[in-house]
Each structure stands twice: as C-alpha cells, then as structure tokens.
Amino acid sequence: MQMNDSVVLTLEEAGALVSSILGKAGFSEGHVRTLTWLMVSGERDGCAAHGLYRTLVCVHSLRSGKVVGDAEPEVHDQAPAIVRVDARGGYSLLAFEAGLPLLAEKARSQGLAAMAINRCVHFSALWPEIERLTDMGLVALACNPSHAWVAPAGGRVPLLGTNPIAFGWPRTGAPPYVFDFATSAVARGEIELRRRAGESIPEGWGIDAQGNPTTDPAKVLDEGAMLTFGGYKGSALSTMIELIAGPLIGDLTSLESMEYDAGAGASPYHGELVLALDPQRFLGDRAQEHLARAEAFLNAFDGTGARLPSQRRYQARERSLAEGVRIPAALHADLVALLE
C-alpha cells in the first residue's frame, strides 16, 4: 500500500520481501531466516537503522566478499557452563541461534552459562538476542567490541569500540526489562549525520587529534576520537567489554578488528559474549516470591516520571503489529530493484 512518499507493509509482506532479496543475493536458508527475522523485528520496533534498510547493507557486504553468505556455524561444548560457536565468517545471528539451545540447557542445569561467538560479522543490535533468552525465562547479558573509534577517558588515541552492552530480565505480564546501548557517548552514525547536515556536535561526544574537546564532527571522525558515555566510568566499562568479549573468548579487540578491516569500512568482524542466568536455579522453591518482588520494583517506576528502557520500542511494536510498518518509498524502490 503506497501513501505519498512512503510504503506501508504488513510484517508478513516485509518479511517476504527481505527473504526474497537475501535468498536471491545468495545467502543460505539459515542466514535468510535469521536476518529476515532480525530486520523485520528492527523495523517493527521502530529502529529504522536496524530495519529493512539493512537488507541493502547485507547484500552489499556479501557482494564485496566481507561476509560468508552460506557459513554454517559450528557449536562446541567448551566446558560445563560454556558454549563456543564458530560463526566461520557469517553473520552473528545464525551463530547465536545455533548455540542458543545448548546455552539455555547449560544455564538451566548449571545455574548460569556463557556463550562465546567467534569469527562473526556483526551489525545488529543486541536486544533481539536478549529477548530470545528472556522469552525462555532467563536473565541475559550480551556485549561485543566493535571498531576502535573511541578514546578512553583522558586519552587522545582511539583504543575502544562503541562497545554495546545489553541486558534483559524476564517479566510476568509485561514485556521484559531490556536495555541495549553503546558505551560511546553517541552512535558514530549520529556524528556522521551532523557532519552531512553541516551541523556542530555538543561537547562530550568527541575530541580532536590533540585530545581537546571539539564540536566539529569532522575533527572527531577523521582525526580525533569519539568519547565514551559517563566519563571515566563509561570508559572503564568499555574497556571491560574489550577484555571479556575479546581476548577472554579468543577473539579480536576493536583495535585488532579495525586493523583486520584495513580501511574497507565493513561491519566489524569479531566475537560476542552472551551470559544467561536461570532465576529458577538461583532461587529454587522461592523463585516466584522473589520474581514478584522484582515486578514490584519495576512497577514502582510508573508515575515517577522515569521510563523503563525499551518502552518506546514496545509501543512501536504494538503499533506495527496492528498497522504494519511504513518505510520510505525510495527505500522500498531500492529493495525491489534488488529482485530484478
């Protein structure tokens, strides 16, 4: 259904379109399925940057040889509480899905478990993976390095990635408590948008080559570095993510990932760490009582002016389920062109 310069698609229509494009481009069935789910979920939740638009990026990455379109993930039972999945150069999500049953089984039998995903190409938000775990009643944490664009607090040189961290807590009778944010002050794309628009950026987003605060997006992007959120605390957290989702799982730091990229500007190629904790094993017989206390705590946010994270996403989701998603007509045309 076309309306002026936008197109409205049901989620089914959106999924069918994305699947056809990805299949035609040469992705294997598993990657088509997981990528389609990911991009439709992003569009459904109002995250256009992680929505249907990404189909174009995925096809471009496949054509330029930056991702293996038919990579079959290999799942290794590394230790009683550790699953390791070798993504073999494919997108991360199929590797996540391949390891998920064993991760959940280990979390339930051991109490908590980790999944190390290696050698994956990563572009996606982490919340779709987090929600897969909260849907199973598990508490989840995930993080990954990216490319070294961010200077640690006090430093002049980019050593850290934008390093997202995401967390999920399953709720009863409400969507899960989920946050998913970059440990950089803002997304790199936000600074790029300001440059394109000829606008300045607020102080605190980045520094110039000498390490001084700057409001010039070009100086941050081309010569200087981005900054973390929350000063030295955010910087410390981002450093932790480099360590636990880099060397701890035998995979690249953001600096190494950037060297590997060698200026190609592709999605980071690296690893991801996922933790799953089972409240039933932590709490035994008293799980229900204590999870009800968590509900009371989260419900206390209502009416105080505070918003739980992801609320806007859940509202967009409800709307999209009822009304479908609306994308720019130009994007729709670009997508359809890939089918010709």
- For residue 301, state whether it binds a copy of itself (rule: CB under 8 A): yes
Site for a copy of itself in 40-79 (CB under 8 A): 78-79
- Straight-line distance from the first to the last Cα atom of the chain, in angstroms, rounded to the nearest whole number: 20
φ and ψ at residue 273, rounded to 5 degrees: -110, 130
**Half-sphere exposure of residue 71: CA atoms within 13 angstroms, side-chain side:** 27
Residue type, 105: E
- For residue 173, state whether it binds a copy of itself (rule: CB under 8 A): no
- For residue 18, state whether it binds a copy of itself (rule: CB under 8 A): no
The whole-angstrom separation of Cα 238 and Cα 9 is 38
- For residue 319, state whether it binds a copy of itself (rule: CB under 8 A): no
Considering only 58-66, 89-97, 283-291, 327-335, which stretch makes contact with a copy of itself by CB under 8 A? Answer: 283-291
Ordered alpha helix ranges (H), 170-307: 188-196, 217-218, 231-244, 254-261, 279-283, 287-299
Considering only 127-135, 259-267, 273-281, 330-338, which stretch makes contact with a copy of itself by CB under 8 A? Answer: 273-281
**Half-sphere exposure of residue 237: CA atoms within 13 angstroms, side-chain side:** 18
**CB closer to a copy of itself out of 16 and 294:** 294
φ and ψ at residue 76, rounded to 5 degrees: -115, 135
The whole-angstrom separation of Cα 323 and Cα 8 is 8
- For residue 274, state whether it binds a copy of itself (rule: CB under 8 A): no
Binding map of a copy of itself across residues 218-247, x = CB under 8 A, - = no contact? -----------xxxxxxxxx-xx-xxx-xx
**Total number of residues that touch a copy of itself (CB under 8 A):** 71
φ and ψ at residue 101, rounded to 5 degrees: -60, -40
Site for a copy of itself in 116-155 (CB under 8 A): 116, 139, 151-155
Identify the residue among 109, 172, 200, 212 touching a copy of itself (CB under 8 A). Answer: 109
- For residue 175, state whether it binds a copy of itself (rule: CB under 8 A): no
**CB closer to a copy of itself out of 281 and 326:** 281
